[in-house]
A = this chain, B = another copy of it.
Amino acid sequence: MPRVFIYDTTLRDGSQAEGVSFTVNDKVKIARKLDESGIDYVEGGWPGSNPKDRDFFALMKKDPLKHARLAAFSSTRRKGMVAADDPHYRDLIAAATPVVCIFGKTWDLHVMDVLRTTLEDNLEIIRDSVAFLKKKKKEVVYDAEHFFDGYKSNPEYALLTLKAAAGAGADILVLCDTNGGSLPEEIAGIITEVRENIAAPLGIHTHNDMDLAVANALAAVDAGCVQVQGTFNGFGERCGNADLSTLIAILSSKLDCKTIPEGRLKALRDTAYYISEVANLPIADNHPFIGHSAFAHKAGVHIDAILKNSKAYEHIDPALFGNHRRFITSELAGKMPFVMKAEQMSLQIDKKSEKAKEMLKALQQKELEGYQFEGADASFELFMKKFLKTYKPFFKLQGFRVHTEKTADGQSRAEATLHIEVNHECRFSAADSVGPVEALDQALRNALAPFYPTLKGMRLTDYKVRVLDTKEGTAAKVRVLIESQDEHDAWTTVGVHENIIEASWEALVDSIEYKLLKDSKK
């Protein structure tokens, strides 16, 4: 059972994806989730390239990861100076991570046209950079950029760059198909030749420009690579990086490799969805292993055959990865996901009970409507408590109105009015603001403040919207996620509706109810 180390670069290479823009807080949340998932390395960013990454590493220093090793990324040092004098290297050391990953030039074309130095100077740059970092007691991952293009152009020189890194003490040499233009047989053939010349452990880093990132990584592992670099959900520049959830699933379940610790495979789907929610980039329904449709059967002959023998049209058991079989005409999801979540909230549900069956049905109904509780535990807890009738509402809405206007002079404004009932008292409240959701939020808080003074200590920290059925454009259902926080916790709530104001209202109300519920337990 060969061990393959999983190196995640969602926070660095993944953030190069068009449309991805992580806040510092997003990065910290993803790093913690990756840590829980059981992968081996988390590459956090490029210290010195921007203040966001500097702040991220400062926060991680205070509260380090528990399982994964944190890596900081950089290039080899600048030409014309020694590594010790390169200001980027000062930032790299200041990040105080156990691991550093630096990329260096392999391809003679890049050395001459991009780096604009001599082939020999590039070797010296690699040696000096690695040696400096080893002196600082770092585990050094050396990413050989454009390795395969470089090897095809000038194999002798490509090997010299690897020997320079290995000779200076690099712990692992990672061969990168940076442009994503190599085929699996090329990858396998070249790695076999490299292994005849290089004794150091090898890793692989692939891109998906030909839809071959996963196949190329597998070919590399087959040829002897022991580390796989990739990103969750395949996020990355252009067509993305090798998708780690797919690779972990194949390596663990089809190739009998040891990747993440046993028992963590079941959380693969949850990790992928969590990262997707934070990045606000949806996972395609047809995503292998973890997608909503990955084990969904539509063809009548398939459904018929599956019912006779599940092996007939499923290559593997979906439950292994936390997914489940679906029949598109009739929703038939398993009970495990919510029983597991309930346990996490200390709500005991016997999964064989009538109650559990009913709850599953109610949950499936919510999911059918577009609710997704993966990223919204607070709403899920409220949903379960309401279902179990252990929940007593703090207030009741009679109705609201929101008015938004843009005038000829280009100014826009919003007003909200609402009626609520608290402890059998009716309250009318109004607020104006620049936007409709904030006006609603303000009006609700104004009405509740006399009854629940602790609400002052809570604020909304993030607000995300996603369209559910993209076919319908603005007429489609939207899902709103609201993140809130007080001085003790942060929590996320969800609302779904065709009307964005109504969906926001739902998430807003859940957020406030969760806060009040939390405080009432004290």
CA gap between A285 and B239 in the complex, in Å: 8
Chain B: CB-nearest residue to A18? B293
Query: Does A497 sit at the interface, judged by CB under 8 A?
Result: yes
Taking the complex as formed, is A237 at the interface, i.e. its CB lies under 8 A from any CB of chain B? yes
Q: Check A473 against B463 for contact (C-beta < 8 Å).
A: yes
A412's partner among B305, B462, B497 (CB-CB below 8 A) is B497
Does B466 contact A464, Cβ atoms closer than 8 Å? Answer: yes
Contacts of A71 in B (CB 8 A): none
With A211-B246, A238-B293, A332-B50 as contacts: A505 and B406 at CB distance below 8 Å: yes
Asked if A157 CB lies within 8 Å of chain B CBs, one says no
The interface residues of chain B lying within 8 Å CB-to-CB of A459 are 473
Instruction: Tell me whether A113 and B293 are in contact in the complex, defined as CB-CB below 8 angstroms, given that A211-B214, A414-B501 are known contacts.
Output: no
Interface pick from A77-85, A259-267, A311-319: A311-319
B18 touches A374 (CB 8 A): yes
Which of the 9-residue segments A54-62, A336-344, A357-365, A395-403 touches chain B?
A395-403
A407-B502 Cα distance, complex, nearest whole Å: 11
Give the contact stretch, choosing among A34-42, A90-98, A132-140, A436-444: A436-444
Q: Which of B18, B219, B293, B481 contacts A285 (CB 8 A)?
A: B18
A413–B314 Cα distance when bound, in Å, is 44
> Are the C-beta atoms of A499 and B298 separated by less than 8 Å?
no
Report yes or no: B498 in contact with A184, Cβ–Cβ below 8 A: no
Q: Of B239, B397, B470, B502, which contacts A23 at CB under 8 A? A: B470
Distance of A400 from chain B, by nearest CB (Å): 5
Known contacts A181-B315, A246-B210; is-contact A499 B401 (Cβ 8 Å): no
Q: Is the CB of B113 within 8 A of A312?
A: yes
Which residues 417-467 of A sit at the B interface, judged by CB distance below 8 A? 433-438, 441, 459-467
Complex contacts, A467 vs chain B, CB 8 Å: 462-464
**Does B460 contact A474, Cβ atoms closer than 8 Å?**
yes
Q: Quick one: which of A200-235 are within 8 Å of B by CB?
A: 208-212, 214-215, 218-219, 222, 234
Interface segment out of the listed A119-127, A164-172, A276-284, A384-392: A276-284
Q: In whole Å, how far is A409's beta carbon from the nearest beta carbon of chain B?
A: 9
- Asked if A464 and B461 make an inter-chain contact with CB atoms under 8 angstroms apart, the answer reads no
Tell me whether A32 is interfacial, beta carbon within 8 Å. Answer: no
Is there an interface contact between A288 and B412, defined as CB atoms closer than 8 Å?
A: no
* Chain B minimum-CB-distance residue to A182: B315
Report if A178 contacts B (CB, 8 A).
yes
A287 at the interface (CB under 8 A from B): yes
Given the complex, which residues of B lie within 8 Å of A372, measured CB to CB?
Answer: 21
Q: How many angstroms between the C-alpha atoms of A18 and B281 in the bound complex?
A: 20
A371 to chain B, nearest CB (A): 13
